[in-house]
Each structure stands twice: as structure tokens, then as C-alpha cells.
Amino acid sequence: MLRYGKVLVVAPIIGSTGNAVNERQIVITISKYSKHVLVLTPLSISAIVMRLRKYLTYNKLQNITILPIPFTVLYEHLWICGIVLHVLYSFVLFVFVYLLDLVLNFDFIYVRDSRFAIFISFSKRLARKSFVKIATILEDELRVRFLKKLFENVVQSMERHVIKRVAGIVVHSFDFAKHLVLKRRILPRIIIVMPPGITLSLIDIVKRHCLRKRIVENEVIVGFLGQLQWWQGVDILCDIIAELKMRGLRARLKVIGDGPLRRWLVNRCRDLGIEVEITGFLSHHKALCIARKEFDVLILPRVATDTTSSTVPIKVIEALALEIPVVITDLPIYEELKGKGLYTSKRTPKDFADAILKAFTTPSQSLGYEYLRKYFYEHSVANLIKVASEIPSIENQRREKDSS
């Protein structure tokens, strides 16, 4: 196994959101290929007090050190303040990272979110060994019209600055990379594709300890997993269940997650006479276990954006690996998964109900591990480490070429 030196990670790893789960698994996998991993993780003051002790010991290996740095995310309506806050936070991170690098001399730096890398990219010392993960087209997630064009221009300018200077970027798919290059009008030095994925050991544990739900005739538990945000398609969740009930099924909705649209969802389901249960955010293992034991089908009626159209969410791969059928908005990114436990649908309650019935009546199947190989973090992180380790030799070749 390739063993790398000292790695610095700047990413949110504490919490139960998809981003935190994703980055936490990446950190754990990086630690298997490195001598030591130092993690700077953004965390609110309340979370530092209430949850830090739990996550400092959760899945922690001996060669991982976690340093939380206070940070607060603002509502999208306060996006101007949010940009200022990110710039200030980026400067604080830069000071921390630069001083730490002077002492420890990291071999590789991984940063989740280009906004956290604004000032890091100003430093040649840090930028030459930094890879920045860009997981979303930021302006696609802003629904506020107030000065939206200004927001787009500011974000594009900041992100172009980062992409131009760092060693490379990490994205979830080739399709997303294409969208990003067209939007930012700049070609990164190196592009590494690292799709949201799974850790084989966790899937095996859940399969052993959480038995798959048995089908009950004319009864269906429709599951949703994730943040209750507009782009997740929360607006039609209750209507899909209502459509199923009109067809004579005893259907109910179970949500594992939380978010700003929770109250709206509860009110909408109440108006339609739909039974809904919302668990709130749970630990990764517990969320997967409940989904496997209770969901007849997982639905994700996502709104099509440049980000959602080019990224396969981690929960989709986990559900398929756990033999849970998935019904999701029909987007090209899911083409290779069709017929393997995944069903696509137009984003209407009627079409989703049709797809759910098809999934509900089709024998469940599990994707073979060989087919899912590209989604294993053990595979994708090893590739990231390999590329990062080759950066010094690539730089030497460039210098020799320039001098000649």
C-alpha cells in the first residue's frame, strides 16, 4: 500500500449532513494511505460545545488529529454577508495553514470548498501542493433574486482565482468538470474525479446487522434521505404519496434528515392527509440501518441544476449497495445505473408514483461490488494520493522545460 507523508485537510467532517459524512469518510480513507492527517474543520460554537467530544472519538484513527475552527453559515438571503464571512474565514484559515506548514511542512493539502482556499491560493508555498474540491456550482443554489448577477460575478471571479493557482481540483464527475470549466472559463492544471462513494466495511456491517424490510401487500413506506432543501425536490414529496394513496396503497412518507423546509413539508402533508415521520439527522450508520430495515423505496425528486445533473449522490450508491430500490429524477448522469435497482422518472407526482409501483413490484437486486468499485473511497482516494505524490516531479519537468 502506498504510504504518503503528512496531509492537511480543510473540510467539514463533524455532523450528519451528506457533506460531513462524505468528507469524514474521505479523511478516514486518506489516513490509511498517510503517516499523519491533520484536519481543520469548520464548526459552530454550539456544535463545538455539544458534539466535539463525540466526533473526536468517532471512527478516529491514531494518525488523525482534528482541530475545530468556529464558523457559522448564514441564510442565503444574507448572501452578501455570507461572502464577506467566507473571505474573513478564508484569511483566518490561511494564517493557520501557513503557520502549521512552516512547522510541519505538509506534503499535500486538501480543501473542501473553493471559498476556503481564497487566500491559500495566494501563497505559492501552499498553492503548489493544494487540491481544492469543488462540489457545486455555487450560484445554482441561490434562489434569491436580489443582486443575483452581482453574486454570480463575485463567485465566478473568486473561483477562477483559486482554480488558476492551486495544483488541481477535485470534482464528483467528468460531466460536472465540463460544466465548471464552461462556467468559470478556465482550465485547471489537474482535474481529479472522485465521486461521492461508499466504504466497503460500513456497507458490510449494515448488511450483517440490519435485515432488509419484507414487502407487505398494498403497503409502501416511501423514504427520503438528506437535507430538506428546495433542490432536493421537497415540493412534491407529499404529492407523490397522495398519488400512491389514490391508487389504493397504504402509503406513508419517512424522512431521515432535516432542513429549512421541514415545517413546510409537515404542513403540506397534513393538508393532503399524508402520514409523515421526520427523524432529524442521525449518525451515518443508524441512518443506513433504518433505511435498509424500513424503506420499501428511496425517492429523490431532485430539481435539475448543473450540480444535480452531473453528480450521483452518495445515498444513491449506498441504497443500491444495500438492496434498496431508488427512484430519482430522470437525468443523464444515472443512465449507467438504470436497470440495476435504480428507476428514473419525470419530476411529477404521477410519473414518480408509476416508477415507485414498478420498483415496488420488481424483485430487489444488489449491485455487485466489482460494479461499484469506482465508488469505493479506497479506490478514488488512492488515486488522489497517487496524483498528489507526483506533483513534485511534474513541477521539476515544467521547470526544466521552461529553462530549455
Residue appearing with cell numbers 430539481: 303
For the segment 86-91, the average pLDDT, to the nearest whole number, is 89
Contact 298, 319 (CB under 8 A): yes
- pLDDT of 215 reads 79
Q: How many domains does one find in the chain?
A: 2
Confidence of residue 293 (pLDDT cuts 50, 70, 90): very high
**130 and 247: one domain?**
no
Q: What percent of the chain has pLDDT over 90?
A: 54
- pLDDT of 386 reads 87
Contact 179, 310 (CB under 8 A): yes
- pLDDT of 6 reads 92
Write the CB contacts of 129 (distance below 8 Å, at least 6 apart in sequence). Answer: 106, 107, 108, 109, 167, 388, 391
Asked if pLDDT for residue 299 goes beyond 90, the answer is: yes
- pLDDT of 59 reads 46
Neighbours of 87 (CB within 10 A): 14
- Confirm whether 16 is domain-assigned: yes
Query: Which is more confidently placed, 270 or 216?
Result: 270
**394 and 265: one domain?**
no
What backbone torsions phi and psi does residue 299 show, to the nearest 5 degrees? -115, 145
**244 and 334: one domain?**
yes
- Confirm whether 222 is domain-assigned: yes
Residue 320 is part of which domain span? 200-361
Take residue 311 and report the three cell numbers written for it: 453528480
Q: Which residues pair with 42 in a beta bridge?
A: 69
**187 and 208: one domain?**
no
**65 and 109: one domain?**
yes
**233 and 329: one domain?**
yes
- Confirm whether 110 is domain-assigned: yes
**25 and 145: one domain?**
yes
Asked if pLDDT for residue 2 goes beyond 60, the answer is: no
- Confirm whether 370 is domain-assigned: no
Asked if pLDDT for residue 53 goes beyond 90, the answer is: no
Q: pTM of whole model > 0.75?
A: yes
- Confirm whether 154 is domain-assigned: yes
- Confirm whether 11 is domain-assigned: yes
Neighbours of 331 (CB within 10 A): 17
- Confirm whether 336 is domain-assigned: yes
**CA 225 to CA 288: how far, in whole Å?**
9
When mean pLDDT is compared across 90-94, 98-102, 178-182, 394-398, the lowest value belongs to 394-398
Take residue 129 and report the three cell numbers written for it: 501542493
- pLDDT of 253 reads 98
**345 and 289: one domain?**
yes
Asked if pLDDT for residue 214 goes beyond 60, the answer is: yes
Task: Give the neighbor-by-neighbor strand order of the sheet with 326-329.
Answer: 276-278, 250-256, 219-225, 297-300, 326-329, 342-345
- Confirm whether 366 is domain-assigned: no
Confidence of residue 268 (pLDDT cuts 50, 70, 90): very high
Contact 373, 358 (CB under 8 A): no
337-390, pLDDT tens digit by residue? 888 889 999 999 999 999 999 998 776 665 566 667 778 888 888 889 888 888
